Amino acid sequence: MKIVICGMSGFVGNALHDFLSAQHHEVVSLSIRSGSLVESVVKILDGSDVVINLAGANILGRWSDAYKKLLRSSRLETTAALVHALTHSSNPPRILINASAVGVYDSYHQHDEYSHSLGNDFLATLVQDWEETALNAKAIGTRVCIMRFGVVYGNGGGAMSKMLLPFKLGLGGKMGNGQQMISWIHLQDLVRGCLFLIENQTLEGIFNFTAPEPISNLQQTKKMGHYLHRPTFMNMPSWLVKLIFGEGSCVMLDSKEVYPKRLREAGFTFAYPTFDSAMEQIVHDQE
């Protein structure tokens, strides 16, 4: 297949490129800027089988008004431009797979894809608007799958690369009270899950890309200390996280307990269903 990836330069995009290329698919990068001509985007999309949209500024950071504007524009405007180009393509991809996030859910319930308990903060609203923009592609007969990512762990980048160094230095610890639930996924399961959606042509709509066993921040901290053989007493209180990240601290302090019900119902099997299995692989890969 010819697979176009928008946002291929990031951690997930690079991994998808390597994984799909190893499966002998032709992988093409697509970059959409504010001044991109629709004709140039159509030229890349025309005749391709799949388009995967990962574009969006990093959600982890201090959310100033300017950065919140960037978080929205880098997702909504890019996705809208992509869908617009699809409508102008004479031979458009059969499927659009769009990234999303578990930040769409509230912090007070357990969630699967059938949950109606969505959040009402900035991040949840952003994610809902992002998904709605991508789902507009259904109007032209394109199959649309939405991947709601949990925290992505793997070697070579992402959240784990930021966490490993302080833990290795003995500076690891819980954030806040440590009771917030973390829904996460191993990078290898993410890329396998993406190909699973591509190959199973009856699947469409929302899919939680999270491991079957979410974990509390405190449990995660203890397990990382165990696998790295380091102490984990350098806790970061909530007030300090909020001081550093402002409104963006919700990404680290809010609880998200999310389960991948639809993927499992469809027959997908996770290679790394538990945080222990993921840490064993990540630590082994670094030795």
Asked if the model's pLDDT at residue 278 lies above 70, the reply is yes
- The DSSP output letter for 231 is -
Per-residue pLDDT of 195-218, as tens digits, reads: 999 999 999 999 999 999 999 999
Per-residue pLDDT at 34? 79
Residue 287 is predicted with a pLDDT of 67
Is residue 40 helix, strand or coil? helix
Write down the mean pLDDT value for the chain. 94
pLDDT classification of 285: cutoffs 50, 70, 90: confident
pLDDT at 45: 95
How many Cβ atoms sit within 10 Å of the Cβ of residue 271? 12
Q: What is the pLDDT of residue 35?
A: 78
Taking the C-alpha atoms of residue 280 and residue 130, their distance in angstroms, rounded to an integer, is 34
Give me the pLDDT at residue 162, please.
Answer: 84
The reported pLDDT for the residue numbered 182 is: 97
Task: Return the SS3 of 100.
Answer: strand
Helix pair 122-135, 65-87: axis angle to 10 deg: 10
Mind listing the pLDDT tens digit for each residue in 115-142?
Answer: 999 999 999 999 999 999 999 999 999 9
pLDDT at 17: 97
The pLDDT score that the predictor gives to residue 229 is: 92
Task: Report, as an integer, the average pLDDT of 172-189.
Answer: 96
* 242-272 per-position pLDDT tens digit: 998 999 999 999 999 999 999 999 999 999 9
**pLDDT at residue 33, rounded to an integer:** 84
Task: Name the CATH superfamily, with its identifier, for domain 2-153+183-213+257-270.
Answer: NAD(P)-binding Rossmann-like Domain (3.40.50.720)
- How far apart (Å, rounded) are the C-alpha atoms in residues 160 and 103? 18
Mean predicted confidence (pLDDT) in 12-24: 96
- Predicted confidence at residue 286, as pLDDT, reads 75
Angle 260-261-266 from CA coordinates, rounded to 5°: 105
pLDDT tens for 57-84 read 999 889 999 999 999 999 999 999 999 9
Q: How confident is the model at residue 158 (pLDDT cuts 50, 70, 90)?
A: confident
pTM: 0.95
Among residues 130, 128, 124, 153, which one has the least CA distance to residue 247?
A: 124
